[in-house]
Chain A
Amino acid sequence: MSNVNIKANSEIEIDDSINLSGEVCPMTFVLTKMRLDALKPGQHLEVVLPAGEPMRNVPISVKEEGHKILKVEKMGNMFRLIIEKS
């Protein structure tokens, strides 16, 4: 697992957080989906994803399942997403 430090976001309240830096597809989406399933509609999940294939696929799948991506931040080779559960 990476040393990426997930900082709390001052603008958007985070309800849960997951670091997927060591994961590959399809587990990146499966783990994201499991966390989202546990949330209530409107709550926010923070996901840290590696660049490349996971960053290509996870946002598409998240959108196809009807959730909303509120924020994307690049942190070196990683991306930090904030997803609102639908």
Chain B
Amino acid sequence: MSKIKTKKDMRITVDHHLEEDVKKKIVIDTAVDGKTGKIDFNELKSGGFIKQRQKDLFTVRLRCPGGRIPVKKLKKIAEVADKYGGDYVHLSFRQSLEIPYVNYKTFNGMIEELKEVDQNIASCGPRVRVPTACSGCEYNPNGLSDTQKMANVVNEKFFGYRCNHKFKISFSGCPIDCARTSEMDLGFQGAVFPEWHEDPCTGCTICASACLEGAITPHPKTGKPIFDSSKCLYCSDCIRACPTNAWRQGKTGHVVRVGGRHGRHPLNAAIIAKFVSDEDVPKVIEGILEWYKKNGEGKGRIRIGEILMEPGNIESLAKHLEGVLGDNAIKKPRPPEPVRINKFD
């Protein structure tokens, strides 16, 4: 158990150890290298050890925030996988590296060896999961936000926080949304509002060619842009393309999506805010987790998206976040929408 104090003084208790519905500890004896010890099976369940079909064998999921693994760690992981696992490693759909075919009797030794390079084990179960993120703004030309930095902030601050159900957070650097923020319980996507300045504009029309959304039409005579902000996705292509710096970066931050999920019955997340700053992201997460806890009480394993589809709840969440979101809030947010992928007739 570790306690994290956040700015807002909300106490977040990270509990990697117990499932709510399992009170009894199931303890088994293990023998590793001649030494015997005990392993708590519940710890395994919440700690990223996933039972395989094969007797005694588990897949060990590593904690890789943003899908980024320093090469030094990777070398050690390869060594550990070779020693304790099977012939391969697997990349999970949420960017974590998984080592399959590990015998539970060797867990302790494996954990110790991974700790040498500060490599931790991931989580499963009803809690905030390892955050995912796209490749990062340092080298991806489309990147508008530092998704890798933000994934680390979430990993440090919120990983493991107990919820009604799993809670997935992701960061995309631009509206292409590679990190699928619309399918997450909570997603943040980089956005920049473009501001046009008339003086430096030469009417070259490059911005109109650069805009994929038809938000910029060149004036028939002057070539200067006619901007329809309702079509703008805040991708910043016009700013990047403009040869004379007439388009400039205006309000910048994250679009906030909440209540998405994938699985059998996917939900398309609700957009509740835009241009939320990096500094406000932890406050938004805290606010949403608070609301989820309060409104999920007594409802058992339910995702936040399902709660948000109940009448009045998206408004209730908006109200709860009023103070944090301020002017960045979407005025009339719509609840998450079901996406039917398993409809056969």
**A interface, CB within 8 angstroms of B:** 51-52, 55-56, 59-60, 63-64, 68-72, 74, 79
Give the shortest distance, in Å, between B50 (CB) and chain A (any CB): 41
Judging by beta carbons under 8 Å apart, are A59 and B141 in contact? no
Judging by beta carbons under 8 Å apart, are B205 and A72 in contact? yes
- A64, A68, A69: the one contacting B206 at CB < 8 Å is A69
Q: A55-B209, A63-B241 are in contact. List 8 more A-B contacts (CB 8 A).
A: A52-B209, A56-B210, A60-B210, A60-B237, A60-B241, A63-B240, A72-B204, A74-B205
Complex interface: chain B residues within 8 A of A71 (CB): 204
**B interface, CB within 8 angstroms of A:** 141, 204-206, 209-210, 212, 237, 240-243
- A51, A56, A59, A79: the one contacting B243 at CB < 8 Å is A59
> Can you give 19 A-B contacts (C-beta < 8 A)?
A51-B209, A52-B209, A55-B206, A55-B209, A56-B209, A59-B206, A59-B209, A59-B210, A59-B241, A59-B243, A60-B210, A63-B240, A64-B240, A68-B243, A71-B204, A72-B204, A72-B205, A72-B206, A79-B209
Complex interface: chain B residues within 8 A of A72 (CB): 204-206, 243
Give the total number of A-B pairs whose CB atoms are below 8 A apart.
37
Give the shortest distance, in Å, between B247 (CB) and chain A (any CB): 11
CB nearest neighbor in A for B218: A74
Q: Determine the distance from Cα of A56 to Cα of B212 in the docked complex, in whole angstroms.
A: 8
Complex interface: chain B residues within 8 A of A59 (CB): 206, 209-210, 241, 243
CB nearest neighbor in B for A52: B209
Give the shortest distance, in Å, between A63 (CB) and chain B (any CB): 6
Complex interface: chain A residues within 8 A of B210 (CB): 56, 59-60
Judging by beta carbons under 8 Å apart, are B240 and A60 in contact? yes
Give the shortest distance, in Å, between B221 (CB) and chain A (any CB): 13
Which of the listed residues B141, B204, B210 has the most CB atoms from chain A within 10 Å of its own CB? B204
Give the shortest distance, in Å, between A32 (CB) and chain B (any CB): 14
Known contacts A60-B237, A64-B141, A69 near B243 by CB under 8 Å: yes
Which of the listed residues B141, B237, B241 has the most CB atoms from chain A within 10 Å of its own CB? B241
Complex interface: chain A residues within 8 A of B243 (CB): 59, 63, 68-70, 72
CB nearest neighbor in A for B204: A72
Q: Determine the distance from Cα of A74 to Cα of B205 in the docked complex, in whole angstroms.
A: 9
Give the shortest distance, in Å, between A77 (CB) and chain B (any CB): 12
CB nearest neighbor in A for B207: A59
Give the shortest distance, in Å, between B137 (CB) and chain A (any CB): 13
Q: Determine the distance from Cα of A71 to Cα of B147 in the docked complex, in whole angstroms.
A: 36
Cβ-closest 3 pairs across A and B: A69-B243, A72-B204, A55-B209
CB nearest neighbor in B for A63: B243
Give the shortest distance, in Å, between B267 (CB) and chain A (any CB): 33
Complex interface: chain A residues within 8 A of B237 (CB): 56, 60
Give the shortest distance, in Å, between A58 (CB) and chain B (any CB): 10
Complex interface: chain B residues within 8 A of A79 (CB): 209
Give the shortest distance, in Å, between A54 (CB) and chain B (any CB): 9
Q: Determine the distance from Cα of A60 to Cα of B240 in the docked complex, in whole angstroms.
A: 6
Q: Determine the distance from Cα of A69 to Cα of B212 in the docked complex, in whole angstroms.
A: 21
Q: Determine the distance from Cα of A71 to Cα of B244 in the docked complex, in whole angstroms.
A: 10
Q: Determine the distance from Cα of A60 to Cα of B241 in the docked complex, in whole angstroms.
A: 4
